């Protein structure tokens, strides 16, 4: 594919504008997605951070949860950041009982895992496949990954402080997820990785 891939950002709630800008800067044609027709028109989809209980509820109300699962099941590349990671996970610890998910990523995540004292923080992390300087990862009431299946590649773990070893970025085939928010940093290397992933699977 030589043309820019068309990548959607699920525009239900959360950091939609920032992801659109980052994708565009990383070489994609980025469009907001909040209807079935818009979903069917994209080659890949970003599920932004925000609040997964709200994204879940509105996706159910808008009739989008099943189409999202089907698109994922048909192999559409998806990248979830923070709440988006929760939406893509097969197992969610501390979920609300009525929450529904897109699922597909063979991981267990814990919502709001880092605890109250460290609601938000920034930390440089190394991300596999991303060269150059460490990535400035911004965590906001972030989930962490507690367990991964055998097909899941761990791309990044925390390497300093009390949370050393905690998994914060993963990939499984066309599915990518980070606990953190690259769209808030101006560093588009994670988005560029996703753009390449979409090119690869398109
Ligand atoms: N804590 C939020 C949730 O459970 C995620 C926070 C975020 O996306 N920044 O959905």
Q: Give yes or no: 181 in active site.
A: yes
112, exposed or middle or buried, with CB in 10 Å at 0-12, 13-18, 19+?
A: middle
- Look at residue 202 in the predicted model and tell me its pLDDT: 86
SS (H, E, C) 3-20: CCCEEEEECCCCCHHHHH
Ligand 1 neighbours by CB, cut-off 6 Å:
49-52, 82-83, 86, 111-112, 140-141
Q: Give the global pTM.
A: 0.96
Q: What is the pLDDT along the chain (202 residues), one digit of tens a residue?
A: 568 999 999 999 999 999 999 999 999 999 999 999 999 999 999 999 999 999 999 999 999 999 999 999 999 999 999 999 999 999 999 999 999 999 999 999 999 998 765 688 999 999 999 988 999 999 999 999 999 999 999 999 999 888 899 999 999 999 999 999 999 999 999 999 999 999 999 8
From the candidates 18, 19, 82, 191, give the one annotated as an active-site residue: 82
- Look at residue 118 in the predicted model and tell me its pLDDT: 65
CA 156 to chain centre: 14
Looking at the CA of residue 53, tell me the nearest atom of ligand 1: 10
63 contacts: CB under 8 Å, gap ≥ 6: 36
Q: What is the CA radius of gyration of the chain?
A: 15
User: Rounded to the nearest whole angstrom, what is the distance from the C-alpha of residue 3 to the centroid of ligand 1?
Assistant: 33
- Domain 6-201: top CATH class: alpha beta
For the chain, the structural domain boundaries read: 6-201
- Look at residue 117 in the predicted model and tell me its pLDDT: 59
165 backbone dihedrals φ, ψ, rounded to 5°: 95, -15
CA 188 to chain centre: 14
Among all chains, which residue has been given the structure tokens 């920032």? 18
């Amino acid at each position: 594919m030589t043309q820019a891939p068309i990548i959607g950002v699920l525009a239900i709630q959360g950091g939609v504008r920032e992801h659109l800008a980052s994708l565009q800067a990383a070489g994609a044609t980025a469009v907001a997605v909040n209807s079935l027709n818009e979903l069917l028109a994209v080659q890949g989809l970003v599920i932004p951070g925000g609040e997964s209980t709200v994204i879940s509820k509105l996706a159910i109300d808008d009739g989008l949860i099943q189409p999202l699962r089907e698109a994922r099941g048909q192999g559409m590349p998806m990248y979830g950041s923070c709440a988006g990671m929760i939406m893509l996970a097969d197992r969610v610890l501390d979920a609300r009982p009525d929450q529904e998910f897109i699922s597909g990523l063979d991981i267990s995540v814990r919502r709001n895992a880092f605890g109250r004292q460290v609601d938000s923080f920034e930390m440089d992390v190394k991300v596999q496949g991303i060269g150059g300087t460490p990535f400035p990862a911004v965590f906001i009431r972030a989930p962490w990954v507690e367990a991964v299946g055998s097909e899941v590649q761990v791309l990044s773990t925390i390497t300093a402080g009390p949370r050393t070893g905690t998994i914060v970025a993963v990939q499984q085939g066309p599915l990518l997820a980070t606990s953190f928010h690259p769209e808030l940093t101006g560093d588009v290397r994670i988005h560029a990785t996703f753009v390449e992933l979409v090119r690869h699977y398109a």
